[in-house]
Amino acid sequence: MTYIKDVVIRAIEFAAQRHSGQTRKGNTKSPYINHPIKVVSLLLDFNENDTDLLSAAALHDVIEDTARGDQEIQQLEETIEEKFGDKVLGIVQEVTDDKQLPFKKRKQKQIEDTPRLSHEAKKIKIADKICNITDLKEDPPVGWSNERKNKYIEWAEKVIEGARGVNRKLEAHFDIISREAYEMINSSDSSN
């Protein structure tokens, strides 16, 4: 257990360095690193304690959100492989969007690609979407209309359909969180 903690803490530290200065999109502008920490914590809550999985969860947005240009991406991938191993790098690469693609194409690609991901990558996808929808409820992105929030939930549900079969309790939690968020958003619509 000490080994797991040491490696995962090192991954969180590395992610914190990479995400330094970044914030979430909500009104509170919480430090971005809180998001990957929540993803790791959620996986632990649902009895996922594999070191590679948790390390990749801590690093899941590092390439996508902190590297610019092919050269920097390649250097970052080499660093992740050197520090955390090729399995962790592979999982991180699986959940990394290609920012060179247009937004809509990237989002559609997530729906199409998720069924072919490794079990580890699917678990991270589910935990990531749970955390994002929780943020949508508690500290929504500034300027997002209820329609846009609903569209995000609908899209996330399509992504998660392709991830099912890896942790039933985690999947059931996603269903509860997405339903609660949808109901909350739409009840505020009807009260206006």
Q: Please tell me what DSSP assigns to residue 26.
A: B
Token digits of residue 161: 């359909």
Q: Which residue of the set 64, 81, 97, 157 is catalytic?
A: 64
Q: Please name the residue ranges forming H helices in the chain.
A: 2-18, 34-45, 51-58, 62-66, 69-84, 86-94, 103-113, 119-138, 146-161, 168-190
Residue linked to tokens 């610019």: 68
Positions of the chain with pLDDT under 50: 192
Give the residue from 39, 52, 70, 67 showing the smallest Cα distance to 132: 39
Catalytic residue among 48, 52, 61, 65: 65
Q: What are the tens digits of pLDDT across the range 101-134?
A: 999 999 999 999 999 999 999 999 999 999 999 9
pLDDT given at position 24: 95
Asked about 86 being catalytic, the answer comes back as: no
Whole-number pLDDT of residue 5: 75
Query: What's the CATH fold of domain 2-190?
Result: Hypothetical protein af1432 (1.10.3210)
Residue 81 falls in the annotated catalytic set: no
- pLDDT reported for residue 116: 98
Instruction: Give the Cα separation of 130 and 24 in Å (integer).
Output: 15
Q: What is the pLDDT of residue 2?
A: 61
